Amino acid sequence: MGILNLVTYIPLIGAIVILFFIRKENGAAIRYTATFFAVVDFIVSLYLWFNFDPHGTGAHLFQFRETYSWIPSLGVQYDFGIDGISLLLILLTTFMGIIAVVSSYSAIDHRQKEYYILLLLLQTGMIGTFCALDFFLFYVFWEIMLVPMYFIIGIWGGPRKLYAAIKFFIYTLSGSVVMLLSILALYFFNDGGIPFLNIKGLGNPATFSVLQYHNIGHLIPPQLQFWIFIGFFLGFAIKVPMFPFHTWLPDAHVEAPTAGSIILAAVLLKMGTYGFVRFALPILPDATKQLIVPIVVLSIIGIIYGALVSLVQKDMKKLVAYSSVSHLGFVMLGMFALNPMGLKGSVLQMINHGISTGALFLLVGIIYERRHTRMIADYGGLAKQMPMYATLFLIAALSSMGLPALNGFIGEFTILLGAANRSIVWASFASAGIVLGAAYLLWLYQRVFWGPLDNPANKNVPDVNRRELGLLLALVVLMVWIGIKPAVFFDIIEEPVNYIVRKVDPTYFDKQPLTYPPAAPVVVSAVETTR
């Protein structure tokens, strides 16, 4: 059993241990066991970080490969392997896993055993999705995730939890089953073709290997690529979620318990964007180029729309949820700039969004636990009562809106550079999104933390405790680290991003791409030196 399997299945083992060896009355033991396994998983995943070779290319791009025979008669293999993009996302997952488990200590007071089991199962599903290099395996993990999340929202959620849970489940499932058809179309193209539709196959041995499809992608006729892309697009765009497929997100976020929201925002949404960079772009280059404009238009609508809707929210959690729509619009925009700069920014922004928005959801959850309301109007002047909380909230908000020296800036700036390289119009729309982002977050901050402390219910709210402080500080450290040393992260995703760019446009690096001004800001030169 290799290291990737270990990282994937440690949470599952934890879930089994809790299921069979701990009585449900023993809440503390359940919590600590879950934490133990989450921490062990994170530590094991650090092994990946230290042993990953960022300069691996070609056959060595995907590392820690583990391949076993699974269903030979269908060409299905159990195939694990990660590149830099998956590595960062796996680390994000294991890290946020700890945050999610620990942040639930006081928030979840009933049916704890089931809760922690589901949280750990979810973790296994998510890590497996990022590791899988076989479409069949990927699909299995992709769908497995739905079930625990459905229960987490449905059992421990807010007042409209049943509605939100089923909407989440059906919405995501509808997208993924259509994606399954696209996978099947790829499968038959590689194999015998679809004679009835006059689609000639390549006659290769049947396989679901993603890397094989990376290699044959450009051979698919553009017409077929288009339809396959549409299938993938539905599956991934719903998960991202892109405008206009985002309607499940506010419901799911608002009703989910805090840890559910954290995982949903930090990791689950990244499944969609990860799907695009891992599958849709490299396998379907022609369709990708053909569909740039509609997708970019949707992304920009998402950026502006998400920000505008955030601006008018009365509920803090809903505000953060809609801000995700806006931020994920940035990720999609950077990705479809289809140049190394945009893609790198896009991948880094996935991580940034996970950290910043995860932190914001955690913060909203902390105040909700104390006051049982998330309405902005119920607060005001909290900075006096909870100075530490106010400071941490400010850092998270600034990171989310893209203040220099914090992580959000690096991501957004790199995306803007990439987008501007394609079209200055895209970049200007996106900049408007950044301004709006600052507006809704600062206005939120102003209404909640400044002004007079006039609601008597807020007078005796205790500040963050040590457990919460620890979680938040860990997140802040990451924000600052990525903010001032992004080169470490850009280094890791450099090769995978170049690989994707080359798959989409094989001649990209021969065409002498636009060089950026040498006297670029500090952070950007850090990016450039790694090239």
Partner 1 sequence: MNWNDTIYLLPEIVLTIGASVLLLVPVMGSRGTKLSAKWMMMAILGLTAITLIACSHAVETIDQSRQLQAMFALDAFSIFFKMLFIAAIAMLVMLSDDFLAESRYSPWEYYSLLGFALCGMMFMASGVHLITIYIGLELLSLSSYILAGFYKSELKSTEAAMKYFILGAVSSAILLYGISLIYGVCGSLNLLDIAAAMSTIVSNDALMFGIMLLGAGLCFKIAAVPFHVWTPDVYEGAPTPIAAFLSTGSKAAAFAIFARIFYVGLHDFHLEWNYVLATISALSMILGNFAALTQDNVKRMLGYSSIAHAGYVLLGIISLNTLGLRGILVYSIVYIFANLGIWATVLMLRRHQYAGERVDDFEGLSRRAPLWAFAMIIFLLSLGGIPPTAGFIGKYFLFAAAVQAGFGWLAIIAVLMSAVSMFYYLRLVVAMYLREGVEAEFAITTPLRIVAGLCLAVTLALGILPAPMIDQVIASSSNVAARAALTPHAGR
Where do contacts with partner 1 occur on this chain (CB under 8 A)? Answer: 70-75, 139-140, 143-144, 146-147, 150-151, 154-155, 161-162, 165-166, 169-170, 173-174, 177-178, 180-181, 184-185, 187-188, 191-192, 194-197, 201, 203-207, 227
Give me the least distance between CB of 74 and partner 1, in Å please: 7
Give me the least distance between CB of 206 and partner 1, in Å please: 4
Give me the least distance between CB of 374 and partner 1, in Å please: 22
**Quick one: 178 or 292, whose CB is closer to partner 1?**
178
**Quick one: 181 or 301, whose CB is closer to partner 1?**
181
Give me the least distance between CB of 210 and partner 1, in Å please: 17
- Residues with Cβ within 8 Å of 47's Cβ and at least 6 positions away in sequence, in order, are 3
**Quick one: 6 or 147, whose CB is closer to partner 1?**
147
Name the one residue in this structure whose structure tokens are 């499968």. Answer: 187
Separation in Å, CA 186 to CA 166, 213, 231, 337? 30, 8, 11, 25
Euclidean distance between CA atoms 334 and 326, whole angstroms: 13
Give me the least distance between CB of 284 and partner 1, in Å please: 17
**Quick one: 73 or 515, whose CB is closer to partner 1?**
73
Sign of CA dihedral 257, 259, 264, 265: positive
**Quick one: 32 or 163, whose CB is closer to partner 1?**
163
**Quick one: 20 or 50, whose CB is closer to partner 1?**
20
Give me the least distance between CB of 181 and partner 1, in Å please: 5
Euclidean distance between CA atoms 219 and 190, whole angstroms: 10
Name the one residue in this structure whose structure tokens are 């041995």. Answer: 205
Give me the least distance between CB of 86 and partner 1, in Å please: 20
Euclidean distance between CA atoms 344 and 503, whole angstroms: 15
**Quick one: 197 or 522, whose CB is closer to partner 1?**
197
H-only helix segments in 217-338: 222-239, 248-255, 258-263, 269-275, 281-283, 285-290, 292-311, 316-335
Q: Which of 178, 7, 188 is nearest to 87 (CA)?
A: 7
276 phi, psi to nearest 5 deg: -65, -50
Euclidean distance between CA atoms 479 and 476, whole angstroms: 5
281 phi, psi to nearest 5 deg: -70, -55
